[in-house]
Amino acid sequence: MYRTFSKLLLARPKQAGIIAFILALLVFSSVAAEMLLKQKHANQSIALSLAQSHASLLQTAIDKSLSANYALSAMLIEEKGKTHWFPSFAAALQKVYPGISSFALSPNGVVQQVFPLEGNEQSLGFDQFSDTKQGIDTLKAKMTDKLTLSGPLDLVQGGRGVVGRLPVYVTDNDGGQPAFWGFTNIIIRLSSLLESVRFSDLETNNFDYQLVKLNVSQEPSLIIASNTSAMTDSVSVTIDVANAQWRLMLSPKEGWLPIWRIVSEFFIILLASILLGRWVYLALKMREGKAELEILVERRTAQLSSSILRMKAILAAIPDSFYEADDEGVVADYHSPRMDEWHSRPDWPIGKHYTELLPKESVAIFTKAMSEAKEHGQSNGYEYFYDFGNERRWFDISTTHSSDLDGTNGFYILLSREITHRKTVESELRIAATAFQTQDGILITDHNNKIIRVNAAFETITGYKESEVKGQAPSIINSGRHSKSFYQEMYQRLNKSGSWEGEVWNRRKNGEIFPEWLSISVVKDDNSELTHYVATFKDISETKANERRINQLNYYDSLTRLPNRRMITEDIENLLENTDLKHRRSAILFIDLDHFKDINDLKGHHLGDILLQQVASRLMDSTRSGDLVARFSGDEFVVLLEDVDVSLNPDRIAYRAKHVANKIMTTLAQPFELEGQCCSITASIGISIFGQDSISSSEIIKQSEMAMYEAKGHGRNEVCFYAPQMHKKILERVTLDNSFREALQRDEFVLHYQPQWNGKQEMVGVEALVRWLHPEKGMVAPGVFIPFAEESKLILPLGRWVMRTAMAQLTTWQKEPKYRHFIMSINVSVLQFSHADFVSEVEDALSQTGANPALIQLELTESMLVRDQLDIIQKMQSLKKLGVLISLDDFGTGYSSLSYLQQLPIDQLKIDQSFTRAIEESDKQASLAASIIGLGHNLGMEVIAEGVETQEQFDWLKAHNCDLYQGFLLGRPQPSEDFSIEKQSDS
């Protein structure tokens, strides 16, 4: 039809031009009419706004004037109906209410007083009840006891106005019921009222207006109007006044739309329609010669469109995604409704290289598939994934490659099929297959409750092979301990809730009755029809035995749920008493967590408890079911290995103990996750092997504990077997502990001072070194007691003594001029610096000894910097506020970073003596010392070298601008009474 109509128009361009003219005239006229109507509505909105503004002003003026009645009424009530006050009070009110022309009092409705009197004399004696025009309103005011507004009306005193009156009730002097006294009246002249609200502006704005009073049962009465003719097309606003309603109506004098505007619009529409008709005529004349060509093109286009529609229909029927890419891998076209839906836009891959669209792993797969397709013409069997937000989807891709005969204009066709569901099913099948081989027994029946499948754990627990129970009912393993009602209730709950769980006693094939924890689930198909029952159970014989022990003896640790010290002690005693250990041996592994206290101190006891629970879990996983793992105390665990026969191999138990210990060390070396925080810990393990010649459980545990301490003495994170000589070491350690504590009390410690020199070999300071002068053993080497003091934490009282003694010595020396500028270097241990009150201890020592803080230098080891960095920075800053100097000792042997080092307020770097000794060994070793000197100077620090023992070392260091020197070449440590400022000879 459209084509026929087009041909008709092309054949008759003149008629087409006329039709275009008529249609344009109709359309333009419709548009113009709509625009004029909108203009009219806009003008009416403006007029309505103007009317509302004037109505609001008018209502406000009337309400304000009427409120004067309340003031008059209040005075009448106050004066018990007397009126001597009226003239003066009315005069005052007139200043407040300039819109009121006069005030009047009318006892019993008869006007007796009026103000101002001049010009209002005729109103005196006016009876408001009997007046034909005001009588009704007067009577209504009295009956309703409300303020009323009468008018507009011709006033007795002349002119037109409105009267507001308020009935007044006055109580006599006896305090009786209020009686009607009369009215208070205010008179408002209309001329003054309208002038005050500027009604004349409406005419100025070219509007006619009418103000009418609305009557309930009568036609509205005209109050005032600029044009008394009926207003048929106007806007209006209603005004509520006292007991009446007024209405203000506005209408433009020249109408809402001027005639000239309508005429001009008509001529414009006519001219535009003529021009459009002419343009259509000319256009059709030009196309008349091309009509046949267009028809031919249209026919071919229709055929092509039909082919495209068929192709789209074919592609829409294929659920797979289709992509076309050029020889470089840039996507040129694609079809993938599902991908469009996921990406929320239809053109997401066009013009992009496939490497921009895929994750790195999938890009590698695409590259391999496309390379194979380019080489062999096609490829398939490749799988890739694409992440949509947090969801990963998998796809299978098949690729072909084509090009022109000369190898140019190559392109790829890629067909992608989503296989996410298949991958999920495959994964679930693998998981199900793995889960089916769990240590729990699994039994599957059909809907008739006939066994169709069991797992290996079922066979192990019950003793039945799958072939023996297949096709049988689960009752084949019933123990007979449960009644019929028990099983009826079980199946009722299964049918109701779809699952059942509880404790059941069953019978093994050998007749043994055992307890199990049984869970049964119902499997239903898509139609909610029952298809299978799946039962999983666990042999809880050992659990029941443990429950009996818990209920009877309470031998378990509440935190880790492991047996406690008492239980493992009694188990060892039971093993010693009730087991023939002549040819059997067992072993105790005593496990102590290294530096566990640091975790409690740094991370809190809550995370420490979580760590202990995880350690307990790993220990259980590292041992056999016949072994017993117990928590012995805080961070100590004990493992009692199951006894083994050693008649053929005496070392069998030692091999097993070593194997279990190594397994525990390996599993504990794995990081722990403590509420989002990563934590690593090691353990020291002592092993004690025992047999029938063992004395008691306490002796066995004591031996394993000794072995554990030996492991700690080897540097921790070690395994050590008990040997008799360990007892001697423990005894020596206990003796050392007692002697050390007595030495602190008896002041057996002394300080020796080793000089520090500048490049001119002038002594500038000393380092305080602690020595132990034992009353029996003589001078004890620091290498013997310092490590023990740090391990036992006795370094804290020793460190405080060293600090106070050294400061006191400096104060004594400062009294001599030659020692006045000496700097006293005092070593501080890691444990001492980590103490929370360390800064306060330094401050107290300075205060008590009177030492100059600017001459006190605290030496901290570089290894200390790997601890809590924030705490170190805060403490160093606090020390600097006290005025003391800070030296970094043994520099070069630790692992401090330069970025961290430059944040610390360090005054001096001390080159470790190992670097000083290496200066003469090789140029490479010497360059390390030179680098440390340069680093210290670049960081604005003083550099001192310790261990200077040869003149060659001194000369080399001086040549490389080292600041200070310390070593046997220049001076050995001396007690204070033998100290001399002069250089000592090395002899």
| Nearby residues of 278 by Cβ (< 8 Å), 6 or more positions away | 17
Q: In this structure, are residues 921 and 892 in contact, taking their beta carbons and an 8 Å threshold?
A: no
Distance, CA of 517 to CA of 501 (rounded, Å):
8
Tell me the whole-structure pTM to 2 decimals: 0.38
User: Could you report the per-residue pLDDT of 272-306, keeping only the tens digit for each?
Assistant: 777 776 787 777 777 665 656 667 777 777 777 77
Q: In this structure, are residues 717 and 683 in contact, taking their beta carbons and an 8 Å threshold?
A: yes
Q: How confident is the model at residue 434 (pLDDT cuts 50, 70, 90)?
A: low
DSSP conformational letter for 127: B
Does 685 have pLDDT greater than 90?
A: yes
Q: In this structure, are residues 911 and 933 in contact, taking their beta carbons and an 8 Å threshold?
A: yes
- Total Cβ atoms within 10 A of residue 915: 22
Does 217 have pLDDT greater than 70?
A: no
Q: Are strands 885-891 and 856-861 parallel, antiparallel or unpaired?
A: parallel
Distance, CA of 912 to CA of 214 (rounded, Å):
111
Q: How confident is the model at residue 660 (pLDDT cuts 50, 70, 90)?
A: very high
**What rounded mean pLDDT belongs to the chain?**
83
Distance, CA of 133 to CA of 34 (rounded, Å):
50
The whole-number pLDDT of residue 351 equals 79
Does 421 have pLDDT greater than 60?
A: yes
User: Could you report the per-residue pLDDT of 817-866, keeping only the tens digit for each?
Assistant: 888 889 999 999 888 888 889 999 999 999 999 999 999 999 988 777 76
Greater pLDDT, 898 or 325: 325
Exposure string over 773-792, b if 16+ CB within 10 A, otherwise e: eeeeeeebeeeebbeebbee
Distance, CA of 688 to CA of 745 (rounded, Å):
38
Please give the structure tokens belonging to residue 280.
Answer: 């259509």
Based on DSSP, count helices (H) and strands (E) in the chain, helices before strands: 32, 37
In 3D space, the residue among 262, 229, 225, 264 whose CA is nearest the CA of residue 247 turns out to be 225
Q: How confident is the model at residue 631 (pLDDT cuts 50, 70, 90)?
A: very high
Does 755 have pLDDT greater than 90?
A: yes
Beta-strand ranges (E) seen in 691-797 are: 719-721, 749-758, 763-774, 778-780
Q: Omega into 563 within 30° of 0, i.e. cis?
A: no
Greater pLDDT, 347 or 685: 685
User: Could you report the per-residue pLDDT of 582-623, keeping only the tens digit for each?
Assistant: 788 889 999 999 988 888 878 888 899 999 999 999 999 999
The whole-number pLDDT of residue 227 equals 77
Averaged pLDDT for residues 215-235: 77
Task: Give the neighbor-by-neighbor strand order of the sheet with 235-241.
Answer: 221-225, 207-214, 244-252, 235-241
Averaged pLDDT for residues 678-704: 86
The whole-number pLDDT of residue 239 equals 86
Greater pLDDT, 733 or 476: 476
User: Crossing angle of helices 795-813/838-849, nearest 10°?
Assistant: 30
Q: What is residue 764's three-state secondary structure?
A: strand
Averaged pLDDT for residues 932-951: 91
Distance, CA of 904 to CA of 941 (rounded, Å):
11
Distance, CA of 948 to CA of 236 (rounded, Å):
112
Does 261 have pLDDT greater than 50?
A: yes
Averaged pLDDT for residues 91-118: 87
Does 964 have pLDDT greater than 90?
A: yes
Torsion sign across C-alpha atoms 475, 476, 480, 482:
negative
Secondary structure (DSSP) of 481-531: -S-HHHHHHHHHHHHHHSEEEEEEEEE-TTS-EEEEEEEEEEEE-TTS-EE
Distance, CA of 667 to CA of 675 (rounded, Å):
19
The whole-number pLDDT of residue 734 equals 66
Q: Are strands 513-524 and 411-418 parallel, antiparallel or unpaired?
A: unpaired
- Total Cβ atoms within 10 A of residue 966: 24
The whole-number pLDDT of residue 609 equals 92
Does 413 have pLDDT greater than 70?
A: yes
Distance, CA of 908 to CA of 421 (rounded, Å):
67
| Nearby residues of 727 by Cβ (< 8 Å), 6 or more positions away | 706
Does 344 have pLDDT greater than 60?
A: no
Residues forming beta bridges with residue 555, ordered by sequence position: none
- Total Cβ atoms within 10 A of residue 7: 12
Averaged pLDDT for residues 359-370: 86
Torsion sign across C-alpha atoms 58, 59, 64, 70:
positive
Distance, CA of 887 to CA of 864 (rounded, Å):
12
In 3D space, the residue among 698, 697, 721 whose CA is nearest the CA of residue 710 turns out to be 721
Angle formed at CA 835 by CA 906 and CA 946, multiple of 5 degrees: 40
In 3D space, the residue among 320, 496, 331, 350 whose CA is nearest the CA of residue 415 turns out to be 320
CA separation (Å) from 531 to 452, 473, 499, 771? 12, 15, 14, 85
Distance, CA of 347 to CA of 351 (rounded, Å):
9
Greater pLDDT, 689 or 338: 689
Q: How confident is the model at residue 315 (pLDDT cuts 50, 70, 90)?
A: low
| Nearby residues of 194 by Cβ (< 8 Å), 6 or more positions away | 58, 211, 224
Averaged pLDDT for residues 240-248: 82
The whole-number pLDDT of residue 890 equals 74
The whole-number pLDDT of residue 460 equals 87
Distance, CA of 770 to CA of 753 (rounded, Å):
9
Backbone angles phi, psi at 654, to 5 degrees: -65, -40
Residues forming beta bridges with residue 591, ordered by sequence position: 637, 685
Range 553-557, long-range pairs (CB < 8 A, 24+ positions) = 557/630, 557/631
The whole-number pLDDT of residue 732 equals 64
Averaged pLDDT for residues 658-679: 91
Does 32 have pLDDT greater than 80?
A: no
The whole-number pLDDT of residue 987 equals 39
The whole-number pLDDT of residue 302 equals 77
Q: In this structure, are residues 653 and 586 in contact, taking their beta carbons and an 8 Å threshold?
A: yes
Secondary structure (DSSP) of 236-260: EEEEEETTEEEEEEEEETT-SS-HH
Distance, CA of 21 to CA of 278 (rounded, Å):
8
In 3D space, the residue among 756, 754, 752 whose CA is nearest the CA of residue 765 turns out to be 756
Q: Are strands 378-388 and 391-402 parallel, antiparallel or unpaired?
A: antiparallel
Distance, CA of 251 to CA of 249 (rounded, Å):
7
Averaged pLDDT for residues 499-513: 89
Rg for the chain, CA atoms, rounded: 55
User: Crossing angle of helices 2-11/259-287, nearest 10°?
Assistant: 90
| Nearby residues of 443 by Cβ (< 8 Å), 6 or more positions away | 451, 453, 454, 458, 474, 534, 535, 536, 537
In 3D space, the residue among 953, 952, 955, 987 whose CA is nearest the CA of residue 971 turns out to be 987
User: Could you report the per-residue pLDDT of 231-243, keeping only the tens digit for each?
Assistant: 777 888 888 887 7
Does 487 have pLDDT greater than 60?
A: yes
Does 339 have pLDDT greater than 70?
A: no
User: Could you report the per-residue pLDDT of 548-580, keeping only the tens digit for each?
Assistant: 666 556 778 888 889 988 888 888 888 888 777
Q: How confident is the model at residue 5 (pLDDT cuts 50, 70, 90)?
A: low
In 3D space, the residue among 195, 135, 138, 129 whose CA is nearest the CA of residue 164 turns out to be 138
Distance, CA of 736 to CA of 516 (rounded, Å):
57
- Total Cβ atoms within 10 A of residue 739: 19
Averaged pLDDT for residues 204-215: 81
Q: How confident is the model at residue 208 (pLDDT cuts 50, 70, 90)?
A: confident
- Helices (DSSP H) in 814-910: which residue ranges? 830-834, 838-849, 869-882, 898-901
Residues forming beta bridges with residue 246, ordered by sequence position: 213, 239
- Of these ranges, 705-714, 880-889, 892-901, the one predicted with the greatest mean pLDDT is 880-889
